[in-house]
Structure 1
Amino acid sequence: MKQVVIFIPLLIFFYCCQSAKKEFPNEAVNDLLLDSSGILIYKTEPHIDDPVVLNPLKTKKLKLLIVNNANTFFVYKGEAFGLEYELLKLFLKEKKIDCEIILVNNVVYIRDSLHFYGGHMAASTFIIPDKPMPAVCYSKPIYMADLVLVKHKDHVQKITNVTLLKDAPYVHYLRTNSNKPLDSFTVTYTAELLTKEFLLRQVNKKEIEATIVDANEAAIAMAVFPDLVLEKIIEHNAPVGFMFHSEMDTLRSAFDSWLVKNKNTSDYQWILKKYRSLPADIADLTQTQGHSVKELLSVISLYDDIIKKHAKEIGWDWRMVASLIHQESHFKPNLKSWEGACGLMQVMPRTALIYGRVSDKDIFKPQANIIAGTKYIRWIENNYFLDSAITKSNKEKFILASYNAGAGHVEDARALCKKYKLDPNVWEDNVEKMLLAKTQPKYYNDKVCKYGYCRGYETTDYVNTILRYYKDYTYYY
């Protein structure tokens, strides 16, 4: 089973980066990279092809226009992310189709760009309209989204004016929808070709009264701008789909057939949960895929209840233990490393047997594995770093480092601290520094060291990564 991951912190990071960018159309913003699934992604120059001749079902090469934003597609540390991107990737992987991506920063350009570039299809949070826009067609709904009215918290009067992107596909949906959701407002359409993110920033600055976006986009913006609040849902369960070139009916039909067969699979549903898990203040207004989003947000992994129980037994914050598991196994219970470490907490069989009385046949069972891992943590805590001058925070860091490299190496680093007039009771810039030094013969051969060479850079990175996870988890859980 796959981990339920909340991506809001990562999406916020992208959103903040976007806030400093100028908005230019058709600007390819990412360099060459090869996706881990084998789907090709690369920067492209403008050129025109005939999409009918280059049928991707035959050529196995698809040209995709995709909006570069925090919901649909972005690149972080060399990896591609995004809700629509990852859903489409499932289809492309099954059909063994490579994908050339043309990044578009502004959704307003998407339809014209689809034809200008000879693209086969386009991806964004496209709300499927009752009356399709000319020269394009849409897939069946890939998920349902709630469109919400966002305002500044200081605006206490009734909202009468909303500002929307001129000619954007979601605006076409609102204009043509039979429920007439815009009739109760005076609508201002942007004269400039802006983005929804820019409009949300304008709401935050009180430059405009309100705007309408998808609930997930609102959630990301509200995490960055806490003064933004939701006024109400404008449209509940609006259908979101992919946009296709009007000549790509065969491709659209192939995708729709695949969608019917795969929409309820664990891979598909996992991606939806990963990206569409919203903060609690939105959870009271909307539901996602039949689950309360408040309920979804309360979950770090499928094993939270087990983690909470056994973290409490050793007096640790369960979110710190969850952060360690995230780093060790990414919540994959059947993972086995090349070194033989097993399960969620990547415990060695001998360690599991000694400290948790867990046998080889049970080591991959989540509860047994977490029992073994947490008891090993308690053993380290009871036998090392007993100096009363060590703060709780520093002791936790020493134990995390010990879990990765062994307590002996951490004690060596503390001994080196004493020799080189650093503080042996402090992790940052002290024990951490000497652990890094243990990659050099001068230090690991020092007579105060008993355990020799240590891959200190791995251990310090390990500890600091866990602390970053923990910071995110304590913010949201």
Structure 2
Amino acid sequence: MQKKSKWIVFLLFVLLVIGSLVFKYSPLFYGSDDISVEKGGHVSIKTLDVAPEQLTASQEAEIDKLVAPIPPNWVGDFDGIRKRNYIRILVPYSKTFFSVDRGKQHGIDYDFGKALEKWINKKYPSQVKTRPFAVLFIPVKRDQLLPDLVAGKGDIAAGGLTVTADRQKDVDFVSPFASGVREVLVTVPDYPPVSKIDDLSGKEITIRASSSYFEHLTAINTRLKEMGLQPTTIISADESLESEDLLEMVNAGLIQATVVDRYLAQIWLPLYTEMKINDSLYINDTGELAWAIRKDSPQLSKMLNSFMKEHKVGTTFGNILVKRYVENPERVLNPTSKEEMQKFENLVELFKLHGNTYNFDYLMLMAQGYQESMLDQKARSHRGAVGIMQILPSTAADPVINIKGIEKDPAKNIEAGAKYLRFLTDKYLSDEDITPSNQTLMAFAAYNAGPGNLLKFRRLAEKSGQDPNIWFHNVEYAAARITGQETVKYVANIYKYYLAYKLVTAMQESQKKPLTN
């Protein structure tokens, strides 16, 4: 029982800290008469059947206005780029590098790209006098940056890429905008001291397999083996997670350690105050950050090298950019409450029951409940949404749901939320091409923004050349363009909580297994 309580305490501490670190947004108006979105992402639903299964002609016309032309795949050099009058930059969708909030773009790569656009228009006057040269940003999964570049889906791959020998086999890099970049170990505060290579022996470190950190840790493991020492255990992180997400997870104590560029750790340290940057040993201290281009592009390389000479770190522009992101991150509070310690234990069986009844992963449902109310049945919104799943009594009483007593009974509240989620899934996401996990993620989006908006998100994604059946890196981009970051953050936070639950329950299960020789 003591071990069980220990895991409950740990899990709830993790979720409390993560919950306190999520970004807070002002209420957003989503252009739907059927829903109203409150601060924190809670939704009050006026009617259950809030949207038809198809968009109207006028709604289709609204979507068409948002559709940007899909640049065709193309390979060539700067002379061809000038003739078509635009350059495509592939970027990872990230709070640090590139994000969109109702049409407004942000991030380091966005600022660099707009500076490039201005510079090109000054240095190379447009060959189409009525239309200036433009930079187009194309968000892709981080592990697809270089493959998509080679395939001709973009002309430049950005995203704070480190120049490595393996990457240089496939692409060329232009002059770096930052040199001498140090890759640091970032850990929980009570992590054992690491001051030399030997100290990494046997440690668990979580990183993306597509990162330069993976290459450098693999090289360190080779050295450790040569020294007769146990190598580090490299845990491959979900590729949908960016470095700032892994830092958040370290800060919450969910993972023990990760590796990032030191400047990234500095950007997020004022926000993630419960993590420790290890400056006693660098995983790599000769890193160069640069944009990647296709091989055999000498004209593009020459042009970008000239641009970087005037804009890299150390120049006025570069220093202003670093100052903007390193010294002014968004700050939030970090409250904790002992009252949370019994919630997981008290509710997990209810989530298992209703997850099984309505065919959802119970940990996914529980993660949504945590996002909605921090698993607090007493939670109330000013619009009347109640309980763990923040649902209106009138919605729960609708004949399709037909569950009463959700105000006081957590079991009924959880069931009403799960049943409504199943209704959304079956009515709007029944396509066999959608995987169960993507059905659930998009049902969360509909729960938050309304099914009418989900239809718009998927339609815009499809018309923009993205997959309408996949949430991450596809439909979520369209959601950000239409309604801003609220729903994007809502689903992303649930997924992080899900990963937290999944990891901790797996660790609990491993403790139950008998030892074998």
Q: TM-score, normalised by structure 1?
A: 0.44
More RCO (CA 8 Å, sep 6+): 2
Q: TM-score, normalised by structure 2?
A: 0.41
Larger Rg: 1
